[in-house]
């Protein structure tokens, strides 16, 4: 499977720094192309949100190269891979809590990560960032919003006791699109508008994907979005 990809990462018009982190890694192997994407939104109301999101993204990247490849080569079942990343998420939670206690600070981050190989995708999620699947004229939200009243987080990394991440599994068909994004990227646009701009049928190249992501980001900022804005888009090109 060949993938068309691009990322969007913007501090926004009012924020002093970008507390979001994005990850997109892909490597061609003997079993096809393997891909890992993630968006992590550091909590702006706490200290060092960018450190929390950056640490999570780095840990996902390291796991991609040190563990995921080996499991795929050995043809491990999806539940083995899922259990491996669950262990990583628990480790991140413990390390971040220990660091916060030592520094006497509060920090936390959302996480939405997606691994793809041999047309199978696996999803891990905590927080109010989102993952969408776009297929034809339909867009489906794959993640739950772990937030109260649409704003106050009820689950994330570090700021709460450990929660097992939400998991998802599915098949990526040729022509499908996957969008991972933080809340700042999608809060000011209706689902129908987001689906129309990011319709995979209309996206034939990576530069075009980048322009469409930028279009959504600029629309959000024009409509008053003050948060950081980040997104990763993946199209299965066949």
Q: Is 71 exposed, middle or buried (0-12, 13-18, 19+ CB in 10 A)?
A: middle
Which has more confidence, 150 or 227? 227
Give the chain's length. Answer: 238
Q: What digits encode the pLDDT tens for the residues 8-43?
A: 999 988 777 899 999 999 998 887 899 999 999 997
What topology does CATH give the domain 3-236? Phosphatase 2c; domain 1 (3.60.40)
150 band by pLDDT with thresholds 50, 70 and 90? low
Q: Is 125 exposed, middle or buried (0-12, 13-18, 19+ CB in 10 A)?
A: buried
pTM: 0.94
Q: Per-residue pLDDT for 197 more than 60?
A: yes
DSSP states along 83-152: HHHHHHHHHHHHHHHHHHHHHT----B-EEEEEEETTEEEEEEESS-EEEEEETTEEEE-S---EETTTE
Q: Per-residue pLDDT for 46 more than 60?
A: no
CA separation for the pair 97, 91 (Å, rounded): 10
Average pLDDT of the segment spanning 77-91: 91
Domain coordinates of the chain in residue numbers? 3-236
Average pLDDT of the segment spanning 158-179: 90
């Amino acid at each position: 499977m060949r993938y068309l990809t691009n990322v969007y990462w913007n501090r926004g018009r009012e924020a002093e720094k970008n507390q979001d982190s994005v990850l997109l890694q892909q490597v061609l192997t003997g079993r096809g192309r393997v891909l890992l994407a993630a968006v992590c939104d550091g909590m702006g109301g706490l200290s060092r949100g960018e450190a929390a999101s950056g640490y999570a993204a780095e840990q996902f990247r390291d796991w991609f190269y040190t563990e995921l490849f080996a499991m795929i080569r050995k043809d491990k079942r999806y539940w083995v891979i899922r259990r491996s990343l669950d262990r990583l998420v628990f480790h991140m939670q413990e390390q971040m809590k220990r660091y916060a206690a030592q520094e006497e600070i509060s920090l936390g981050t959302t996480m939405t990560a997606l691994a793809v190989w041999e047309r199978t995708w696996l999803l891990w999620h905590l927080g109010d960032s989102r993952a969408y699947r776009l297929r034809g004229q339909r867009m489906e939200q794959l993640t739950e919003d772990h937030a109260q009243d649409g704003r106050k987080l009820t689950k994330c990394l570090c700021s709460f006791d450990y929660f097992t991440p939400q998991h998802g599994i599915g098949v990526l068909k040729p022509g499908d699109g996957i969008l991972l994004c933080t809340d700042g990227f999608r809060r000011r646009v209706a689902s129908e508008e987001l689906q129309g701009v990011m319709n995979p049928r209309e996206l034939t190249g990576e530069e075009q994907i980048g322009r469409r992501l930028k279009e959504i980001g600029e629309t959000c900022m024009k409509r008053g979005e003050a948060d950081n804005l980040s997104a990763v888009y993946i199209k299965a090109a066949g």
